[in-house]
Structure 1
């Protein structure tokens, strides 16, 4: 996980967290199970963008992912309550920016500062030769046929 309950609680007021997570109209505490679902959603979405570029899970988590995941989790909590047409503009902009940043990380335009040895390499598959060398294809074919008489 790239964020914790405490990270999310620091990003929103306690009252807002209670209103967004507690389905009991008279609740005085956040529903931590719902908060955990928002956190899981945000972190899994981030992993979906990072999967092809980095070996997951990233540990320790790069600090750049904390505000991104926080904005996504906050958006997830709000979408439980608000029609998306009525979303507050700053919240919608923060979510759109978070997704844009994840796309830029995925595309290699923004780097997380993870050591090169920690990045994922695409699997060699057919490209990887038996002795582990990458870059050349091995091809098997039947023996050559003489088509010169045709």
Structure 2
């Protein structure tokens, strides 16, 4: 997860406790944080390998904003809704490769290259196909044109 209950309390104070008192579910806050994590992963999962090696502070802030919005299950305030919408808009920009998360490796503090994950692509002309039903050996037995 990108945030904890302690992160929410540090950012929003007693507001989190007040929201939790209104619900009988003891895992209410953890569920909201998990929902926020899954929403974030849905946006950045095509671009970054998950789980992330290190959580940048801006992602932790967005996770808190999204979780807080989820905690307001009945009527979020305008400020809560605006922070949620801003977080989602930024995540969409990350997904569209118009913004970056600046994830640093824990030991070296090197910024992780956020190139798209390895996806299947077409092979350049002249490359030998080495797998599947029709390998080079089988193709060499076929008549040429």
TM-score of the superposition, structure 2-length normalised?
Answer: 0.72
Q: Whole-Å Cα distance in 1 between the matches of residues 143 and 68 of structure 2? A: 63
Structure 1 residues 75 and 127, CA gap change in structure 2 (3 angstroms):
farther
TM-score of the superposition, structure 1-length normalised?
Answer: 0.70
Which residue, 58, 63, 69 being the options, matches 1:75? 69
Which residue, 87, 90, 95 being the options, matches 1:98? 87
Q: Whole-Å Cα distance in 1 between the matches of residues 13 and 64 of structure 2? A: 13
- Deviation for aligned residue 1:19: 2.6
**Secondary structure of the corresponding residue to residue 57 of structure 2:** coil
2:6 alignment counterpart: 6
Q: What count of residue pairs does the alignment treat as equivalent?
A: 124
**Secondary structure of the corresponding residue to residue 64 of structure 1:** helix
Q: Whole-Å Cα distance in 2 between the matches of residues 8 and 57 of structure 1? A: 21
Superposition map of 1:1-150 within 5 A: 1-14=1-14, 16-22=15-21, 23-24=23-24, 31=26, 33-79=27-73, 81-82=74-75, 87-114=76-103, 115-116=112-113, 119-124=115-120, 127=123
Unaligned stretches of 5+ in structure 2?
104-111, 131-138
Per-residue CA distance 1:66-110 (angstroms, 9 max, x = gap): 11111000000002x32xxxx311111111101001001111111
- Deviation for aligned residue 1:36: 0.5
**Secondary structure of the corresponding residue to residue 99 of structure 1:** helix
Provide the aligned C-alpha RMSD in A. 2.8
- Deviation for aligned residue 1:112: 1.2
